[in-house]
Amino acid sequence: MKQITQKLKCRSLALCVGVILLSGCSKEFLTPDPLSFYEPGATFSTESGLKSAMAICDRHLKLYYAVDHNEMLTLGTEYIFSELMVAAATDKRSMLCDVASMLTPTSDQSTQHNLDRTNSIWYFWEETFKGIMYANTIIQFVDAVEGLDEATKNAYKGRAYFHRAFRYMALVFQYGDVPLITKILEVPKQNYRSTKRDAILQMVTQDLEFAVQWVPEQKDMELIGMVNKGACRMLLAKSYLAIGEYGKAKEQTDILIDQSGYSLMTDNFGAFNDGGEPQTWPITRNVIWDLHRAENKLIAANKEVVMGMPNRGSDAESFVKMLTMRILYPFLFNSTVKTKDGKQALQNIKRNAADYDPQYDYMRAFGRGIATFRPTYFQTHALWSVNGVMDAGDLRHSSTVGNWVRMEDYRVNNKASSEFGQPVTLFGDNGELLCSDSIRRWYDVPHYIFYLDDPVNEANISGSDGNRGATNGGNADWYLYRLAEAYLLRAEAKFYLNPSDPTIADDLNAVRSRAQCSQLYSGAVTIGDIMNERARELYWEEWRNVELTRVSLCLARSGKPDEWGNTYNLETFDKQEGTDNSGGSYWYQRIVRYSMYNKGPIQIEASGNPNPSYTMDKKNIYWPVPEKAITANNKGELSQNYGYDGYNPTTPKWETWQEAVEDEGKIN
């Protein structure tokens, strides 16, 4: 099958009119642009126009998933609002660590990339509504395209529904109640109301039911990377879970697992990538390594991929740099990490040096990390204990085969040190700390996920700036959905239906057995077990904050207990404030129990942010609606979220999606 690789240019500024208020309403933005003077109805009156619009939707999904300032800040932002990761760029004075104090409706007023806070909250708001706009364009014009039969029109419409649903599923679990926009408007609308989360979820569910009916299976499609029926089923299952239709969610995952032609990959397949510098870090070939290689993700032999995002090639306008090797590995190559005899432990050694030793070229093997984000101790250590046992067989956590890199796997490569060739250590003989910034410089890495080829820098043998080997990462195909997630969603649906169902363990064990785990689940399984397995299997793949918030809603709606026996009230789980350990949502409970948040200042030496304090408030389950969006909507009133400045519980909202849609045509 062919991959989508065409170059796309989007100059559809005229289509932005309906969402001007959501991006702000500056004078410059309202000034007419010559590029916008055309008639959308004419542009999208042919199938070629529809294909172009759909290609924009597909490409936007990839950009929206992983781009902001070329540092994948979007996905990183999702993870720092979870128990698995925190901001780590300690040289930046205002990095987003003290979330409880720093995150406000006006903290993201700039429309520029805000690296100093290492987050992408502004980008999510604006880009999500752009994606909705692109999808609405197709939905609005597809029925008027001549020469297409009903099935073809419905397939286009179904794919567009998926794109709109994916983005609204993100919005309602990042921001809660938000404006519902389903039309392309000819003039600006500045009198929107927010629509209640559950009303939007009801509309999304109906749209996805239509998509599952009409969008083809991947096997019946020529191109890889377009929305297929399997992807629609996966998102529909999540939507069913969110509205409390647990039996229907299970039915969709049953079909994905048993009737759709997918299967978990259990053996080595595709091309073997040796990891760049096998003398430094040898890889023993295994199925987990093969599964996560960019060159294997979308090939026909991979029966597990449900939907992926093609992203390989040299065209800078069509492909996204996945800089995992840059932003997610520890920042090691300077004097901050020392040996016991006071020398720099790890150096950037060059391949053109006379004394070059390929056994110690860690920059080439692991990249030139700067640790924009770092995992929590829970993610690197405690998470991997099952049945009270650290599972040494789990390929996803194995240094033996090369999938996982622990700090003790690095060996001193500074020949000036008496410890040359010995493992780096965190403490000296007298207990003194040898790494002055343990947040940014000392943590383990899931190498099998983050390692990406970087051919440009691999060819740069003598680069004095260290841009050599797999320094930054590269253009790489990426997963949106894999069948493994269907097993985990089915386990979750079964839990809400009957927590005592013994087959819940079977679904988790299907994923664990593939990873060659020695510890399997038996007996009763908790929601915590399910979320832990999601964390192990889908790290840096799922949108962790969105999924954790969705599960928080499901627990509150179902009345089922979490792993600590807590139950949640649907009316109050997301309406609490504070940084104490009690109360709040399931999202909050996992964060305060497992992460670095609300534990007090961490003692480190850092130029920008010494002794940072990581805090998270219960109200931060939802992000504040940007003040600029609220003020731009100056003839109506958008709802601000609980706990933030401007919150007003009496602000009117649409109770149903039908009311919101009916109001869309009422301009000002």
CATH code of 130's domain: 1.25.40.390
- Lowest mean pLDDT, pick from 149-158, 160-169, 356-365, 509-518: 356-365
For residue 460, the model assigns a pLDDT of: 77
> pLDDT at residue 45 above 90?
no
* Amino acid 110: pLDDT: 56
pLDDT tens digits for range 418-466: 999 999 999 999 999 999 999 999 999 999 999 998 887 788 777 645 5
The span from the CA of 437 to the CA of 664, in Å, is: 52
pLDDT bucket at 69, cuts 50 / 70 / 90: low
Residue 173 lies inside a defined structural domain of this protein: yes
DSSP assigned state of 583: S
Nearest to 155 by CA among 169, 142, 136, 137: 142
Would 313 be classed as within a structural domain? no
Cβ-contact 621, 585 below 8 angstroms: yes
Mean pLDDT of all residues in 222-240: 95
- pLDDT at residue 468, as a whole number: 60
pLDDT at residue 12 is higher than 70: no
CA distances from 526 to 20, 522, 613, 653 (A): 45, 11, 31, 36
Burial 591-623 (b: 16+ CB within 10 A, else e): bbebbbbbeeebebebeebeebbbbbbbbbbbb
Q: Which of residues 615 and 74 earns the better pLDDT score?
A: 615
Question: For residue 589, what pLDDT is reported?
Answer: 98
Q: Say how far apart CA 384 and CA 394 lie, in whole Å.
A: 8
Domain that holds residue 195: 15-29+36-215+613-668
CB-based burial label for 3 (10 Å; 0-12, 13-18, 19+): middle
Q: Are 651 and 637 in contact (CB under 8 A)?
A: yes
Higher pLDDT, 174 or 114: 174
Q: Is 70 exceeded by the pLDDT of residue 1? A: no
> At residue 10, does pLDDT exceed 80?
no
Q: Does the residue 656 lie in any domain? A: yes
pLDDT confidence of 364, banded at 50, 70, 90?
confident
pLDDT grade for 17, boundaries at 50, 70 and 90: very low
Closest CA to 12 of 130, 179, 187: 130
Q: How many domains does the chain have?
A: 1
User: How sure is the predictor about 31, in pLDDT bands with cuts at 50, 70 and 90?
Assistant: very low
| Six-digit token string for 37 | 């003077």
3-state secondary structure 419-437: CCCCECCCECCCCCECECC
Of 209-213, 308-312, 375-379, the poorest mean pLDDT is in 308-312
Instruction: Name, in order, each residue with C-beta under 8 angstroms of 258's C-beta and a sequence gap of 6 or more.
Output: none
- Which pLDDT belongs to residue 34? 27
Biggest CA-to-CA distance, the chain: 80
- What tokens were used for 651? 């602000």
Of 6, 15, 8, 64, give the one whose Cα is nearest residue 44. Answer: 15
Tell me what pLDDT residue 633 has: 92
Task: Give domain status of residue 586, yes or no.
Answer: no
Q: How confident is residue 467, by pLDDT bands cut at 50, 70 and 90?
A: low
As a whole number of angstroms, the distance between CA 423 and CA 404 comes to 16
- pLDDT tier at 27, thresholds 50, 70, 90: very low
Residue 70's pLDDT band (cuts 50, 70, 90): low
Whole-number Å distance between alpha carbons of 167 and 227: 14
Residues counted in the chain: 668
What are the CA-CA distances from residue 493 to residues 167, 252, 482, 557 (Å)? 22, 10, 17, 13
What pLDDT sits at residue 227?
97
- Rounded to whole angstroms, the Cα distance separating 253 from 553 reads 20
| pLDDT of 469 above 70 | no
Give, in order, the Cα–Cα distances in Å from 113 to each of 10, 71, 73, 118: 20, 10, 9, 9
Per DSSP (E only), the strands in 296-443 are 305-309, 321-322, 373-375, 385-386, 389-390
Averaged pLDDT for residues 371-375: 95
Residue 604's pLDDT band, with cuts at 50, 70 and 90, is very high
Which of 19-33, 459-473, 492-506, 581-595 shows the lowest per-residue confidence on average (mean pLDDT)? 19-33
Mean pLDDT of 37-45: 57
pTM of the model: 0.94
Res. 54: pLDDT tops 90: yes
Question: pLDDT tens across 144-199, in order?
Answer: 999 999 999 999 999 999 999 999 999 999 999 999 999 988 788 889 999 999 99
Residue 45 lies in a domain: yes
Given a cut of 80, whether residue 630 has pLDDT beyond it is yes
Contact 120, 74 (CB under 8 A): yes
Q: How far apart are CA 17 and CA 505, in angstroms?
A: 50
Average of per-residue pLDDT values in the chain: 89
Is residue 439 one of the residues assigned to a domain?
no
Residue 395 burial (C-beta neighbours within 10 Å; 0-12, 13-18, 19+): buried
Q: What is the three-class DSSP state of 365? A: helix
426-435 contacts, C-beta under 8 A, 24 or more apart: 428/340, 429/340, 434/337, 434/338, 434/339, 434/340, 434/345, 435/336, 435/337, 435/338
Strand partners, 445: 405
Q: Helix H segments across 215-245?
A: 229-243
pLDDT band at 409 (very low <50, low <70, confident <90, very high): very high
Q: Is 85's pLDDT higher than 80?
A: yes
Query: Does residue 648 have a pLDDT over 70?
Result: yes
- Higher pLDDT, residue 383 or 223: 383
- Asked if the structure places residue 463 within a domain, the reply is no
Mean predicted confidence (pLDDT) in 211-220: 96
Quick one: how far is CA 462 from the chain centroid?
A: 35
Q: Mean pLDDT, to the nearest integer, of 280-309?
A: 97
Residue 9 lies in a domain: no
More confident residue, 189 or 142: 142
- State yes or no: pLDDT of 561 exceeds 80: yes
What's the rounded mean pLDDT across residues 481-507?
A: 98
